[in-house]
């Protein structure tokens, strides 16, 4: 629910009925991170604005949605002046445990 409320481009859930094991443990996840600097705060302090992940297996299927979300974020970023140096990055990780 949090991802939807925060405007993340992709949200997924784990059905509780399927068991208590960690369904995404050691599965490749693509982690997206959005960072920027805020010149008004102590020498342009860098801040992380967003961080979310999707299963890597869904990346190609969601590419258009993710690209549109990034484009919208860049447009919104250009329309403000509180943050500078927007950086949108992604990396693939596999973690021993994942909290949804």
pLDDT tens digits in sequence order for the chain, 100 residues long: 667 777 778 776 666 676 656 677 888 999 999 999 998 887 778 999 989 899 999 999 999 999 999 999 999 999 999 999 999 999 999 988 877 6
The pLDDT of residue 32 = 95
Contact 74, 86 (CB under 8 A): yes
The pLDDT of residue 44 = 76
- Where do the domains of the chain lie? 24-93
The Cα 74–Cα 20 span in angstroms is: 39
Q: Is the pTM of this model over 0.75?
A: yes
DSSP the chain: -HHHHTT-S------GGG-SS-TTTTS-EEEEEEEEEETTSTTTEEEEEEEEEEEGGGHHHHHHHHHHHHHHHHHHHHT-SS-EEEEEEEEEE--S----
């Amino acid at each position: 629910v949090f991802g939807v409320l925060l405007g993340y481009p992709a949200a997924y859930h784990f059905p509780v009925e399927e068991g208590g094991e960690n369904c995404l443990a050691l599965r490749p996840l693509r982690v997206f991170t959005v960072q920027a600097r805020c010149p008004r705060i102590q020498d342009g302090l860098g801040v992380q604005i967003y961080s979310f992940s999707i299963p890597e297996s869904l990346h190609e299927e969601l590419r258009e949605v993710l690209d549109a979300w990034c484009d919208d974020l860049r447009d919104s970023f250009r329309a403000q002046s509180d943050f500078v140096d927007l950086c949108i990055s992604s990396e693939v990780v596999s973690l021993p445990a994942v909290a949804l």
